[in-house]
Each structure stands twice: as structure tokens, then as C-alpha cells.
Chains A and B, each alone.
Chain A
Amino acid sequence: MKYWMSILAALALTAVAPASLADEAAPDELIRVLSEQVLEIVRNDTRLQEGEVDSAIERIEAVVVPHFNFRRMTMLAVGRDWRQASQEQQRRLMDSFYGMLVRTYSNALTEYKDHTIDFRPLRMSPDDSTVRVQTAVRQPGAQAVSVDYMLERTEEGWKVFDIVVAGVSLVTNYRSAFAQEIRNGGIDGLIQALEARGGEGMRFPGHES
């Protein structure tokens, strides 16, 4: 009886292990896989080489969006006024902020082509709920730029909530500019300002319905 129990236990373990491994992929491993996939798209998307960015962006979105907590990113960029925003406003803030980010970085997509990424050893203890994955982006003929990814532990695995480029946090760096817009025109004023810079009608593809 004991014998059978242990075999059953072993079977159950092997059946469960691969699935839970995939969910609990180590944060640095996750970033490595994501950046490899993105670089692969940037290098090989034929339409991107001809100057047409839309299809590449769609492919990158499909890879990246599930692994970002974009709600928290927007919240951190907006700061304290996030609490004053209605659910609808929060949703529109996410859409317009997302639109602006996509617009900003899609201009530069082709410039990342010959970049390579080095990973620094990950320092974390098993019960950390927030972790920083440190990388250095190298490009020929220029000094390496440090790019750090901040990740948080969620039920669906690790999720990125900030990217720190050369010491500048993507999300908190927007905060005082956002606060300025909110002071001048309220939450809706900020949404309009963001929409003006990202093109209207942009939607964040990862909304929880």
C-alpha cells in the first residue's frame, strides 16, 4: 500500500511540476525570454524593415502585455489622484497612457535592432514579493545602458510594473508632469493631453473585462 502511495505521489508530482514551473518562471528567466522574443520580432519582422510598425507592435503586444501589470503602472504614474478617478476614468487613463507609450517607443523600434542584453545575477530570497531584474543593454560603439525591470509576484506569476532606464523610472518620472495636468484640467484634462500625444482610440489590449 505504501509503495503504491509513493508511486502515486511521484506521478502526481511529475504531472504537476511542468505546469507550475511555467507559471512560476523565475523573474530573470521571464525577462530573458520576453526580451529575446521582442528582439527577434524587431530584427525579423519584414514589414517593420519597410517602415510599417503596426504589425510588429501587435506581435510585441501579444508577447509582452500578459506579463505586465499595466493597471499598477498607470496608477504609479498618476500618483495620489488615482483614487479620485472613477472606474471609467481609470480605464481611459490606462488606454491613453498606453497609447502614448506605444506611440513614443514605436518610433524607436528599429533602433533596438543591434542591441544585445546582458543579465546581472539575480539577488532575491524565495519569499520576496517584489524583485528587481538588472540588465545592461549594449549597443556597438556606445556605453552600455542599465535597464532594470521591477516585478511583483501575483497569482498568475511574475508581472512587470516598472522599467528603470539608466536610473530613470518609466512610471514615476511621469508623475509630476501628470500632476501638473491634473491641477490644470482635472483627470479629464490629463486624459485629453495623453490622447493628444498618443492618438485617440488607442486601447490597452489587456483590460480585464
Chain B
Amino acid sequence: MNPTLPRRCARFVLPVRRAAVVLTAMLLVGCASTPANPDDPLEGFNRAMFAFNEGVDTAVLRPAARAYETVTPGLVRTGVGNVFGNLGDVWIGANNLLQGKVGDGMSDLMRFMVNSTIGLLGLLDVASEMGLQKNDEDFGQTLAVWGVGEGPYLVLPIFGPRTLRDAAAIPVDRFGDPVANIDHSRTRYTATGLRVVHGRARLLSVERTFEDSTLDKYTFMRDSYLQQRRYKVHDGEVPFEYDDYDFFDDGFDEQASLLPARTGVEVLVDSALAQLELNRAEGAAPGRTASNIYFTMGNER
């Protein structure tokens, strides 16, 4: 008897029913051979957490979101979304101010004042109609603007995808979150629960779209999250770089441009390289930028 590795894994899984989700997740780490991605050095751990979150989602969140979507009329859901959105605008404004974007910050505070009064305690988003556009900021983005690098990709239990930097920002964002600071505990739990279910319900239609078309849901989520995060940090002003694979240019690592944004460190390295004229000295191909070197170093580790 010489059981193969997958069979051995299966034997562990079968008899365990309690906490099966967690265990399967842990075993997956051992069974799956996961190739390295420079953005995701903790892929093994992350995949386990992802599987755990998927389990929680299937068991609790998705059914709750479906029920919520069935029970509430669209108008009510719009109102719920507006109220939570309005409560968030103060902290969004604070972060815009912390990032030095005074105009945006003032606009966010104006939004809060307009919607809390004319908008009937936030039920109606009058401010958007007035042309005060809703922004999307949090403390993780503020840290990024202050020059903190994003760190490795991380999937947290329950919270879901983050970068290390954004995970570190969670306590600060909770400090600035009016819902998390409600004194009356039952109200706080109810409001938090409603917000989570509402947020999940908004993803239902996206999920329907991508249900059977994704090749690997984990990879899809990771790459989407990282791209979207970088886009938000730069408020949409990300320099997009595309490569041409129709021509032969050797010594070029496509991982470098997998994600369009470049971190502050890379820009610094770039300028340092330019000063040293390293590029010219080596006679390197024009595609060889700091991001290449940066990621190549990550690969070799």
C-alpha cells in the first residue's frame, strides 16, 4: 500500500464533519502546488483563508443577501445604501484632507451636510444631483499617499482581500466609522449586520455575470483587488503600460506589467537608475525599467 498524496489528503477530510470548511482549507495548502507570484508570496495561507471565506459566504452571507434582495423593494435598498453612504462621507472627507486634497475633502463634508438635512438624514442623495460627486477614500489610501508601500497581498478571515498596508489601516478606519462607534451595542450589531448584508447583495448581479466564466476565482479576485486598489490610490490617474508580444524582445519579464501601477519605490529606483545611467551602460532593452528589476529580485528570493 502506497497511497498517493491526494488520496491521503482525502482520507483526512472525509471523517471530519465539524469545522470541515477550515480543515479542507488547511489541507488545500498542503495538496495544491501553488506557483509563486511576486505580488502574492503568502499564496498558500491566502488560498486557505479564501476557501474559509468562501465557506462562510456560501453558508451565511449569500443566503442572507439573497433573502434581503427578495424581501426589500429596490427603493428601500437605495435608501439603505444612501444612509450608510452618507455616514461614510465624513471619514472620506477627513481622508481627503489628510491626503492634502482640500477641495475634495470640503466637497465630501458639504455632501454630508446637504444629505443629512435636505436629504432627510441621508435617505436621499441630493448632493450627487447637485453635482457634488461621491468619492471613495479610506485610511489605507491615505497611507499610500503618505508613501507607505502596499506590502504582500493578504486574505483576512471574514474581511477578505487586503494588502498588508490596508490591513494595518483597518483599526483606524474603524475609529472613523460612525457605525462601529455606536454606543448602544444592539443597535451597533444590527447596523453592522445590515451594512454587510446590503454590501453583499450589491455583488449578487456581478457574481451572476462571472459565475461560470472565471478560470480560477482566487486569482481573479486577487488580481482584480490589487488593480482596483492601485487605481483608487491614484484616483484613477494610473499610468497604464501595455507590452507588445508580437515582437521579440528578450530579457523582458511580463510579470512586471501584470498590474499597471508602479509603487513609489519603483519610481525612486527608476530615477536613481537613470542618474547612474545603468540602463545605457548595460545596453539594456528599452522595456527594462525599475519595475522589471524590482520584480526579478522578488522572484529570485
Instruction: Name A's B-contacting residues (CB within 8 A).
Output: 75-76, 78-80, 82-83, 100, 103-105, 107-108, 111, 130, 132, 134, 140-144, 146, 148, 150, 161-162, 164, 166-169, 172-178, 180-181, 183, 193, 197-198
Contact = CB atoms under 8 A, between A and B. Distances in A.
22 contacts: A75-B246, A76-B242, A78-B245, A79-B245, A103-B213, A107-B209, A141-B74, A141-B75, A144-B134, A146-B236, A161-B242, A162-B240, A162-B242, A168-B223, A176-B219, A176-B222, A177-B214, A177-B215, A177-B220, A180-B219, A193-B215, A197-B213
A176 B43 CA distance: 13
B209 A108 contact: yes
Interface residues of B, number: 48
A123 B245 CA distance: 27
A140 B244 CA distance: 39
Contacts of B230: 167
A60 B259 CA distance: 30
A161 B241 CA distance: 12
Contact of B215 (A80, A108, A143, A180): A180
A197 B35 CA distance: 23
Nearest to B79: A141
Nearest to A143: B134
A68 to B, nearest CB: 15
Given A172-B258, A176-B37, A176-B219, A141 B77 contact: yes
Contacts, number: 113
A95 B284 CA distance: 36
B213 A177 contact: no
Contacts of B81: 141-142
Contacts of A164: 231, 240
Interface string B200-228: 00100100111011111001101110011
Nearest to B223: A173
Nearest to A171: B242
Q: Per DSSP, are chain A's interface residues mostly helix, strand or loop, or mixed?
A: helix
Contact of A143 (B77, B85, B229): B85
A94 B75 CA distance: 42
Given A140-B78, A143-B85, A80 B245 contact: yes
A174 B224 CA distance: 9
A166 B259 contact: no
Interface of B: 35, 37, 74-75, 77-78, 81-82, 85, 133-134, 136, 202, 205, 208-210, 212-216, 219-220, 222-224, 227-232, 236, 238, 240, 242-246, 248, 252, 254, 257-260
A21 B232 CA distance: 36
B221 to A, nearest CB: 10
A166 B231 contact: yes
B74 to A, nearest CB: 7
A198 B212 CA distance: 9
A132 to B, nearest CB: 7
Nearest to A197: B213
B6 to A, nearest CB: 15
Contact of A167 (B209, B231, B242): B231
Nearest to B213: A104
Q: Which interface residue of B134, B230, B259 has the most chain A CB atoms within 10 A?
A: B259
Closest 8 CB pairs of A and B: A167-B231, A141-B78, A104-B213, A82-B245, A167-B228, A177-B215, A80-B254, A108-B209
A76 B35 CA distance: 21
Nearest to A166: B228
B197 to A, nearest CB: 16
Nearest to A84: B245
Contacts of A79: 245, 254, 258
Nearest to A141: B78
